Amino acid sequence: MGPNSLDALCKRYSIDNAHRTKHGALLDAELLAEVYIEMSGGRQAAFRLVNAGDGDQYDADGNVRKLPPLVRPRPLAPRIHPEELEAHAKMVAKIGDKALWNSVAVE
């Protein structure tokens, strides 16, 4: 296993990061998104993270079969406090219609 810095991952997955002359949160996030897409099967259809015996997840051509979603036997306990939920609701109400997520189309 090689180094896992963002630069190393970009090189490994042939992602152009020549415009990255210094670290910046937005640029790093965009590059990391491209790395994630590649790691989750983007252009590299043969990349698989499967356990031994999971071959039945793929058809004869090596394409991933649509599997039913796993169902958690019981929900996870909430990890957010009521005060945090209230503060979040107030913040969202304060932002109102100017919220960034209102400008993004959801499919």
Distance, CA of 85 to CA of 103 (rounded, Å): 23
Measured in degrees and rounded to the nearest 5, phi and psi for residue 58 equal: -125, 145
Tell me, yes or no, whether 78 lies in a domain: no
Which structural domain range is residue 14 located in?
6-71
Q: Looking up tokens 């503060």, which residue turns up? A: 87
- pLDDT of 15-46, one tens digit each? 888 887 777 888 889 899 888 888 877 655 55
Tell me, yes or no, whether 95 lies in a domain: no
Tell me, yes or no, whether 58 lies in a domain: yes
SS3 (DSSP) at 107: coil
Q: What is the pLDDT of residue 84?
A: 94
SS3 (DSSP) at 68: coil
Tell me, yes or no, whether 11 lies in a domain: yes
Q: Is 88 a catalytic residue?
A: no
Q: What is the pLDDT of residue 52?
A: 43
Q: Are the C-beta atoms of residues 42 and 64 closer than 8 Å to each other?
A: no
pLDDT-derived band at 85 (thresholds 50, 70, 90) equals very high
Number of domains in the chain: 1
- Residue in 19, 23, 81, 88 annotated catalytic: 23
